[in-house]
Amino acid sequence: MYRNVKYSPAYTLVPTYECFNRCEYCNFRVDPSQDAWLTLEQAEARLQALRGQGICEILILSGEVHPESKRRDAWLERIEGLCELAIALGFLPHTNVGPLKYEEMLRLKAVNVSMGLMVEQVSPELMQTVHRHAPSKRPELRLQQLEWAGELQIPFTTGLLLGIGETEGDRRDTLEAIAQIHQRWGHIQEVIIQPYSLGNSQILNAPGFPLEQLPSAIAIARRALPDDITLQIPPNLVRYPDLLVACLEAGARDLGGICPRDEVNPDYPHPHLQALQEVLSTCGWYLYPRLPVYPQYEGWLNPALQSRVQQWRNALSLLSPVQPNL
Ligand SMILES: O=c1nc2n(C[C@H](O)[C@H](O)[C@H](O)CO)c3cc(O)ccc3cc-2c(=O)[nH]1
Ligand SMILES: C[C@H]1O[C@@H](n2cnc3c(N)ncnc32)[C@H](O)[C@@H]1O
Ligand code: MET
Ligand code: SF4
Protein backbone atom coordinates (compact mmCIF):
# COMPACT_ATOMS: atom_id res chain seq x y z
CA MET A 1 0.00 0.00 0.00
CA TYR A 2 1.48 3.29 -1.13
CA ARG A 3 0.86 6.55 0.65
CA ASN A 4 0.67 9.81 -1.28
CA VAL A 5 2.89 12.87 -1.23
CA LYS A 6 2.49 15.75 -3.67
CA TYR A 7 4.54 18.48 -5.31
CA SER A 8 3.85 21.34 -7.70
CA PRO A 9 5.80 21.40 -10.99
CA ALA A 10 6.85 25.05 -10.91
CA TYR A 11 9.03 27.79 -12.35
CA THR A 12 9.98 30.97 -10.48
CA LEU A 13 9.90 34.49 -11.88
CA VAL A 14 11.57 37.22 -9.83
CA PRO A 15 10.20 40.71 -10.64
CA THR A 16 13.09 42.20 -8.66
CA TYR A 17 15.71 41.12 -6.15
CA GLU A 18 15.80 44.63 -4.66
CA CYS A 19 14.41 44.78 -1.15
CA PHE A 20 14.12 47.53 1.45
CA ASN A 21 14.24 44.92 4.22
CA ARG A 22 17.44 43.25 5.33
CA CYS A 23 16.50 39.96 6.95
CA GLU A 24 19.79 38.64 8.25
CA TYR A 25 19.20 35.14 6.89
CA CYS A 26 18.38 36.31 3.34
CA ASN A 27 20.43 35.14 0.34
CA PHE A 28 18.09 36.72 -2.19
CA ARG A 29 18.03 40.47 -1.76
CA VAL A 30 20.10 43.28 -3.29
CA ASP A 31 19.96 46.93 -2.21
CA PRO A 32 17.14 49.17 -3.52
CA SER A 33 17.80 50.48 -7.04
CA GLN A 34 20.68 48.01 -7.52
CA ASP A 35 18.67 45.68 -9.72
CA ALA A 36 17.06 45.96 -13.16
CA TRP A 37 13.49 44.73 -12.85
CA LEU A 38 12.36 41.76 -14.94
CA THR A 39 10.61 43.09 -18.05
CA LEU A 40 7.48 41.54 -19.54
CA GLU A 41 9.48 40.84 -22.71
CA GLN A 42 12.15 38.92 -20.81
CA ALA A 43 9.51 37.01 -18.89
CA GLU A 44 7.62 36.15 -22.06
CA ALA A 45 10.74 34.67 -23.65
CA ARG A 46 11.33 32.49 -20.58
CA LEU A 47 7.74 31.35 -20.30
CA GLN A 48 7.46 30.55 -24.01
CA ALA A 49 10.48 28.26 -23.65
CA LEU A 50 8.77 26.41 -20.76
CA ARG A 51 5.58 25.48 -22.57
CA GLY A 52 4.86 21.81 -23.06
CA GLN A 53 7.16 20.67 -20.23
CA GLY A 54 4.46 19.86 -17.69
CA ILE A 55 5.19 22.98 -15.64
CA CYS A 56 1.99 24.46 -14.33
CA GLU A 57 2.77 26.89 -11.50
CA ILE A 58 4.55 30.18 -12.00
CA LEU A 59 5.80 31.29 -8.59
CA ILE A 60 6.16 35.08 -8.49
CA LEU A 61 8.67 35.77 -5.74
CA SER A 62 9.96 39.27 -5.11
CA GLY A 63 12.03 41.61 -3.06
CA GLU A 64 10.01 44.53 -1.74
CA VAL A 65 9.67 48.22 -2.56
CA HIS A 66 8.82 50.33 0.52
CA PRO A 67 5.04 50.83 0.92
CA GLU A 68 5.48 54.64 0.91
CA SER A 69 7.92 54.75 -2.03
CA LYS A 70 6.83 56.49 -5.22
CA ARG A 71 8.04 53.37 -7.08
CA ARG A 72 5.57 51.11 -5.23
CA ASP A 73 2.79 51.43 -7.85
CA ALA A 74 5.15 50.58 -10.69
CA TRP A 75 6.36 47.54 -8.70
CA LEU A 76 2.82 46.27 -8.14
CA GLU A 77 1.91 46.89 -11.76
CA ARG A 78 4.91 44.86 -12.90
CA ILE A 79 3.88 41.97 -10.65
CA GLU A 80 0.31 42.14 -11.94
CA GLY A 81 1.60 42.24 -15.53
CA LEU A 82 3.75 39.14 -14.94
CA CYS A 83 0.76 37.27 -13.51
CA GLU A 84 -1.42 38.26 -16.48
CA LEU A 85 1.28 37.13 -18.88
CA ALA A 86 1.64 33.78 -17.14
CA ILE A 87 -2.13 33.22 -17.37
CA ALA A 88 -2.23 34.24 -21.03
CA LEU A 89 0.47 31.66 -21.78
CA GLY A 90 -1.50 28.94 -20.00
CA PHE A 91 0.20 28.85 -16.57
CA LEU A 92 -1.25 29.27 -13.07
CA PRO A 93 0.37 32.02 -10.95
CA HIS A 94 1.06 31.92 -7.20
CA THR A 95 2.40 35.21 -5.82
CA ASN A 96 4.54 35.68 -2.69
CA VAL A 97 5.94 39.21 -2.69
CA GLY A 98 5.74 40.28 0.96
CA PRO A 99 2.99 42.19 2.78
CA LEU A 100 0.50 44.02 0.59
CA LYS A 101 -1.99 46.83 1.15
CA TYR A 102 -5.61 45.65 1.13
CA GLU A 103 -6.23 47.13 -2.33
CA GLU A 104 -3.02 45.58 -3.67
CA MET A 105 -4.09 42.16 -2.41
CA LEU A 106 -7.51 42.60 -3.98
CA ARG A 107 -5.89 43.42 -7.34
CA LEU A 108 -3.58 40.41 -7.24
CA LYS A 109 -6.41 38.06 -6.25
CA ALA A 110 -7.84 38.54 -9.74
CA VAL A 111 -4.66 37.20 -11.38
CA ASN A 112 -3.58 34.43 -8.98
CA VAL A 113 -4.96 30.98 -8.22
CA SER A 114 -3.40 31.21 -4.74
CA MET A 115 -1.05 33.50 -2.85
CA GLY A 116 1.37 33.20 0.03
CA LEU A 117 3.29 34.85 2.83
CA MET A 118 5.31 33.16 5.56
CA VAL A 119 4.49 34.28 9.11
CA GLU A 120 8.12 33.28 9.95
CA GLN A 121 7.58 33.50 13.74
CA VAL A 122 5.25 35.66 15.82
CA SER A 123 7.84 36.38 18.55
CA PRO A 124 8.36 40.17 18.77
CA GLU A 125 11.93 39.62 20.08
CA LEU A 126 13.09 38.78 16.55
CA MET A 127 12.51 42.45 15.62
CA GLN A 128 15.60 43.12 17.77
CA THR A 129 17.70 40.37 16.15
CA VAL A 130 17.39 38.79 12.67
CA HIS A 131 14.58 41.17 11.69
CA ARG A 132 16.07 44.35 13.19
CA HIS A 133 16.25 45.90 9.70
CA ALA A 134 13.14 44.22 8.31
CA PRO A 135 9.96 46.19 9.08
CA SER A 136 7.96 43.85 6.80
CA LYS A 137 8.51 41.03 9.29
CA ARG A 138 6.49 42.62 12.12
CA PRO A 139 4.31 39.75 13.36
CA GLU A 140 1.11 41.81 13.58
CA LEU A 141 1.54 42.99 9.97
CA ARG A 142 1.97 39.40 8.74
CA LEU A 143 -1.01 38.09 10.72
CA GLN A 144 -3.08 40.96 9.31
CA GLN A 145 -2.18 39.69 5.81
CA LEU A 146 -3.48 36.23 6.66
CA GLU A 147 -6.68 37.80 7.99
CA TRP A 148 -7.21 39.88 4.81
CA ALA A 149 -6.49 36.90 2.58
CA GLY A 150 -9.25 35.03 4.41
CA GLU A 151 -11.68 37.90 4.11
CA LEU A 152 -10.93 38.17 0.39
CA GLN A 153 -11.25 34.39 -0.10
CA ILE A 154 -7.73 33.91 -1.41
CA PRO A 155 -6.43 30.30 -1.12
CA PHE A 156 -3.33 30.85 0.96
CA THR A 157 0.09 29.34 1.74
CA THR A 158 1.93 30.38 4.87
CA GLY A 159 4.57 28.89 7.11
CA LEU A 160 7.16 28.98 9.85
CA LEU A 161 10.85 29.61 9.43
CA LEU A 162 12.63 27.43 12.01
CA GLY A 163 15.97 28.13 13.65
CA ILE A 164 16.10 31.95 13.54
CA GLY A 165 16.32 32.38 17.32
CA GLU A 166 12.80 31.40 18.35
CA THR A 167 11.95 29.15 21.30
CA GLU A 168 9.72 26.08 21.18
CA GLY A 169 7.07 28.17 22.90
CA ASP A 170 7.33 30.78 20.12
CA ARG A 171 6.72 28.03 17.55
CA ARG A 172 3.59 26.91 19.38
CA ASP A 173 2.36 30.53 19.48
CA THR A 174 2.96 30.88 15.73
CA LEU A 175 1.08 27.65 14.97
CA GLU A 176 -1.74 28.71 17.29
CA ALA A 177 -2.06 32.10 15.57
CA ILE A 178 -2.28 30.44 12.13
CA ALA A 179 -4.83 27.89 13.40
CA GLN A 180 -7.02 30.63 14.85
CA ILE A 181 -7.11 32.69 11.65
CA HIS A 182 -7.84 29.55 9.63
CA GLN A 183 -10.75 28.74 11.95
CA ARG A 184 -12.30 32.09 11.03
CA TRP A 185 -11.89 31.91 7.26
CA GLY A 186 -10.89 28.36 6.24
CA HIS A 187 -8.48 29.61 3.57
CA ILE A 188 -5.03 28.21 4.54
CA GLN A 189 -4.33 25.39 2.13
CA GLU A 190 -0.82 24.65 3.35
CA VAL A 191 1.74 25.54 6.00
CA ILE A 192 5.43 25.31 5.08
CA ILE A 193 7.78 24.07 7.80
CA GLN A 194 10.97 25.69 6.51
CA PRO A 195 14.34 25.01 8.14
CA TYR A 196 16.53 28.11 8.01
CA SER A 197 19.54 27.01 5.92
CA LEU A 198 22.91 28.69 5.77
CA GLY A 199 23.68 30.25 2.38
CA ASN A 200 26.63 32.03 0.78
CA SER A 201 25.41 35.63 0.76
CA GLN A 202 23.60 36.25 4.04
CA ILE A 203 24.53 38.58 6.91
CA LEU A 204 23.72 36.13 9.70
CA ASN A 205 26.60 34.00 10.84
CA ALA A 206 24.72 31.12 12.45
CA PRO A 207 24.44 27.46 11.55
CA GLY A 208 21.23 26.24 9.94
CA PHE A 209 18.34 24.66 11.84
CA PRO A 210 19.46 21.23 13.18
CA LEU A 211 17.72 19.03 10.62
CA GLU A 212 17.46 16.03 12.96
CA GLN A 213 14.89 18.06 14.94
CA LEU A 214 12.65 18.54 11.93
CA PRO A 215 10.46 15.42 12.30
CA SER A 216 9.50 16.36 15.85
CA ALA A 217 8.79 19.96 14.83
CA ILE A 218 6.53 18.59 12.09
CA ALA A 219 4.74 16.27 14.50
CA ILE A 220 4.06 19.24 16.81
CA ALA A 221 2.75 21.29 13.88
CA ARG A 222 0.54 18.40 12.78
CA ARG A 223 -1.10 18.26 16.21
CA ALA A 224 -1.47 22.05 16.47
CA LEU A 225 -3.05 22.70 13.07
CA PRO A 226 -6.48 21.69 11.75
CA ASP A 227 -6.53 18.50 9.62
CA ASP A 228 -7.54 20.32 6.42
CA ILE A 229 -4.20 22.20 6.32
CA THR A 230 -1.45 20.31 4.49
CA LEU A 231 2.10 20.44 5.85
CA GLN A 232 4.81 21.20 3.30
CA ILE A 233 8.58 20.71 3.48
CA PRO A 234 11.21 21.65 0.88
CA PRO A 235 13.10 18.55 -0.36
CA ASN A 236 16.20 20.57 -1.31
CA LEU A 237 16.66 21.72 2.30
CA VAL A 238 15.82 18.26 3.71
CA ARG A 239 18.59 16.59 1.78
CA TYR A 240 18.81 13.09 3.25
CA PRO A 241 16.34 10.42 2.11
CA ASP A 242 15.95 8.94 5.62
CA LEU A 243 15.21 12.35 7.06
CA LEU A 244 12.76 13.19 4.28
CA VAL A 245 10.87 9.97 4.93
CA ALA A 246 10.90 10.62 8.70
CA CYS A 247 9.31 14.02 7.97
CA LEU A 248 6.57 12.31 5.94
CA GLU A 249 5.98 9.81 8.75
CA ALA A 250 5.66 12.81 11.10
CA GLY A 251 2.88 14.31 9.01
CA ALA A 252 4.30 16.28 6.04
CA ARG A 253 2.41 15.50 2.80
CA ASP A 254 3.70 18.03 0.29
CA LEU A 255 7.09 18.98 -1.18
CA GLY A 256 6.01 22.37 -2.55
CA GLY A 257 7.07 23.87 -5.82
CA ILE A 258 9.90 21.91 -7.41
CA CYS A 259 11.70 24.37 -9.68
CA PRO A 260 14.88 24.35 -11.78
CA ARG A 261 16.35 26.83 -9.23
CA ASP A 262 15.27 27.65 -5.67
CA GLU A 263 15.68 31.42 -5.79
CA VAL A 264 15.50 31.75 -1.98
CA ASN A 265 18.10 29.07 -1.30
CA PRO A 266 20.23 29.04 -4.46
CA ASP A 267 22.96 27.05 -2.67
CA TYR A 268 20.56 24.09 -2.37
CA PRO A 269 19.49 22.79 -5.78
CA HIS A 270 16.34 20.67 -5.93
CA PRO A 271 16.85 16.93 -6.33
CA HIS A 272 16.04 15.45 -9.73
CA LEU A 273 12.43 14.48 -9.85
CA GLN A 274 13.03 10.95 -11.04
CA ALA A 275 15.62 10.27 -8.34
CA LEU A 276 13.25 11.68 -5.73
CA GLN A 277 10.39 9.56 -7.05
CA GLU A 278 12.56 6.45 -6.86
CA VAL A 279 13.79 7.07 -3.34
CA LEU A 280 10.29 7.75 -2.11
CA SER A 281 8.69 4.77 -3.81
CA THR A 282 11.22 2.35 -2.31
CA CYS A 283 10.02 3.66 1.06
CA GLY A 284 6.34 3.25 0.19
CA TRP A 285 5.56 6.83 -0.82
CA TYR A 286 4.06 7.76 -4.17
CA LEU A 287 5.00 11.24 -5.43
CA TYR A 288 2.57 12.96 -7.75
CA PRO A 289 1.93 16.41 -9.16
CA ARG A 290 -0.69 18.86 -7.97
CA LEU A 291 -1.86 22.31 -9.00
CA PRO A 292 -1.03 25.47 -7.00
CA VAL A 293 -4.68 25.69 -5.92
CA TYR A 294 -6.24 22.85 -3.92
CA PRO A 295 -9.57 21.52 -5.32
CA GLN A 296 -11.72 22.72 -2.42
CA TYR A 297 -10.88 26.38 -3.16
CA GLU A 298 -11.54 26.48 -6.88
CA GLY A 299 -14.98 28.02 -6.38
CA TRP A 300 -13.32 31.14 -4.90
CA LEU A 301 -11.61 32.01 -8.19
CA ASN A 302 -13.08 34.21 -10.91
CA PRO A 303 -14.59 32.35 -13.89
CA ALA A 304 -11.60 32.96 -16.18
CA LEU A 305 -9.17 31.45 -13.66
CA GLN A 306 -11.57 28.62 -12.88
CA SER A 307 -11.65 27.52 -16.49
CA ARG A 308 -7.82 27.62 -16.70
CA VAL A 309 -7.62 25.47 -13.60
CA GLN A 310 -10.16 23.05 -15.02
CA GLN A 311 -8.05 22.64 -18.18
CA TRP A 312 -5.06 21.74 -16.03
CA ARG A 313 -7.01 19.24 -13.95
CA ASN A 314 -8.13 17.52 -17.11
CA ALA A 315 -4.58 17.48 -18.49
CA LEU A 316 -3.15 16.05 -15.28
CA SER A 317 -5.80 13.36 -15.05
CA LEU A 318 -5.06 12.33 -18.65
CA LEU A 319 -1.35 12.09 -17.88
CA SER A 320 -1.92 9.96 -14.80
CA PRO A 321 -5.36 8.34 -14.92
CA VAL A 322 -4.81 6.13 -11.87
CA GLN A 323 -4.22 9.03 -9.49
CA PRO A 324 -7.37 10.30 -7.82
CA ASN A 325 -8.08 13.64 -6.17
CA LEU A 326 -5.56 16.06 -7.74
O1 LIG B 1 11.21 27.21 -4.28
C2 LIG B 1 10.70 27.76 -3.30
N3 LIG B 1 9.36 27.90 -3.25
C4 LIG B 1 8.76 28.54 -2.22
N5 LIG B 1 7.40 28.71 -2.22
C6 LIG B 1 6.60 28.07 -3.28
C7 LIG B 1 5.59 27.03 -2.78
O8 LIG B 1 6.23 25.83 -2.50
C9 LIG B 1 4.45 26.83 -3.79
O10 LIG B 1 4.31 27.99 -4.55
C11 LIG B 1 3.13 26.60 -3.10
O12 LIG B 1 3.13 25.33 -2.51
C13 LIG B 1 1.92 26.66 -4.08
O14 LIG B 1 1.90 25.59 -4.94
C15 LIG B 1 6.79 29.51 -1.26
C16 LIG B 1 5.45 29.88 -1.41
C17 LIG B 1 4.86 30.68 -0.44
O18 LIG B 1 3.60 31.06 -0.61
C19 LIG B 1 5.59 31.12 0.68
C20 LIG B 1 6.92 30.76 0.81
C21 LIG B 1 7.54 29.97 -0.16
C22 LIG B 1 8.91 29.66 -0.05
C23 LIG B 1 9.53 29.00 -1.12
C24 LIG B 1 10.95 28.79 -1.18
O25 LIG B 1 11.70 29.15 -0.28
N26 LIG B 1 11.47 28.18 -2.26
C1 LIG C 1 10.27 33.13 0.94
C2 LIG C 1 10.63 32.62 2.29
O3 LIG C 1 11.88 31.99 2.28
C4 LIG C 1 12.34 31.88 3.60
N5 LIG C 1 13.79 32.08 3.67
C6 LIG C 1 14.51 33.21 3.51
N7 LIG C 1 15.81 32.97 3.70
C8 LIG C 1 15.95 31.66 4.02
C9 LIG C 1 17.05 30.80 4.35
N10 LIG C 1 18.33 31.23 4.43
N11 LIG C 1 16.79 29.49 4.62
C12 LIG C 1 15.53 29.01 4.56
N13 LIG C 1 14.46 29.79 4.25
C14 LIG C 1 14.66 31.09 3.99
C15 LIG C 1 11.54 32.91 4.42
O16 LIG C 1 10.66 32.20 5.26
C17 LIG C 1 10.78 33.68 3.37
O18 LIG C 1 9.53 34.15 3.80
C1 MET D 1 13.03 35.89 -0.56
S2 MET D 1 11.70 36.38 0.42
C3 MET D 1 10.47 36.66 -0.80
C4 MET D 1 9.16 37.15 -0.27
C5 MET D 1 9.16 38.34 0.65
N6 MET D 1 10.21 39.26 0.39
C7 MET D 1 9.16 37.88 2.09
O8 MET D 1 10.17 37.80 2.72
O9 MET D 1 8.10 37.57 2.59
S1 SF4 E 1 13.59 37.49 3.08
FE2 SF4 E 1 12.20 38.67 1.72
S3 SF4 E 1 11.81 40.53 2.96
FE4 SF4 E 1 13.62 39.58 3.87
S5 SF4 E 1 15.34 40.65 2.86
FE6 SF4 E 1 14.90 38.73 1.74
S7 SF4 E 1 13.58 39.40 0.06
FE8 SF4 E 1 13.53 41.00 1.60
Helix (H) or strand (E) holding 181, with range, is: helix 168-185
Measure the CA–CA gap between 136 and 158, rounded to whole angstroms: 15
- Rounded mean pLDDT, 189-212: 97
Tell me the residue type at 172: R
Cα three-residue angle 121-127-133, rounded to 5 degrees: 120
Any residues with Cβ below 6 Å from ligand 4, and which?
19, 21-23, 26, 28-29, 63-64, 98, 134, 136
> Which atom of ligand 1 lies nearest, measured to the CA of 12?
1
Tens digit of each residue's pLDDT (9 = 90 or more) over 219-236: 999 999 999 999 999 999
Domain chopping of the chain, boundaries: 3-292
Mean pLDDT of all residues belonging to the chain:
96
Digit-coded pLDDT (tens) for 252-303: 999 999 998 999 999 999 999 999 999 999 999 999 999 999 999 999 999 9
Q: How far is the CA of 159 from the centre of ligand 1 (A)?
A: 9
Q: Report the CATH architecture of 3-292.
A: Alpha-Beta Barrel (3.20)
Query: Which ligand is closest in space to the CA of residue 158?
Result: 1
**Amino acid in position 293:** V
Dihedral pair phi/psi, residue 114, rounded to 5°? -165, 165
| Residue 96 alpha carbon, nearest atom of ligand 3 | 4
8 A C-beta contact, residue 79 and residue 60: yes
Question: Distance (Å, rounded) from C-alpha 193 to C-alpha 254?
Answer: 10
Q: Is 188 helix (H, G, I), strand (E, B) or coil?
A: strand
Q: 236: closest CA among 217, 213, 256?
A: 256
DSSP structure class, residue 295: G
Q: Name the closest-CA residue to atom 3, ligand 2.
A: 264
Say which amino acid occupies 17: Y
- Taking the centre of ligand 4 as the mean of its atom positions, its distance from the CA of residue 65, in whole angstroms, is 11
Pairing of strands 188-195, 230-232: parallel
Work out whether the CA dihedral 98, 102, 107, 112 comes out positive or negative. positive
Phi, psi of 45 (to 5 degrees): -60, -45
pLDDT of residue 325 exceeding 60, the answer is no
What's this model's pTM, rounded to 2 decimal places?
0.97
Atom of ligand 4 nearest to the CA of 22: 5
Write the CA distances from 308 to 119, 198, 318, integer angstroms: 29, 38, 16
What is the per-residue pLDDT across 17-31, written as a single tens digit (0 to 9) for each?
A: 999 999 999 999 999
Q: How confident is the model at residue 326 (pLDDT cuts 50, 70, 90)?
A: very low
Whether 217 and 205 have beta carbons less than 8 Å apart is answered as no
Residue 73 CA, distance from chain mean position: 23
pLDDT at 195 over 90: yes
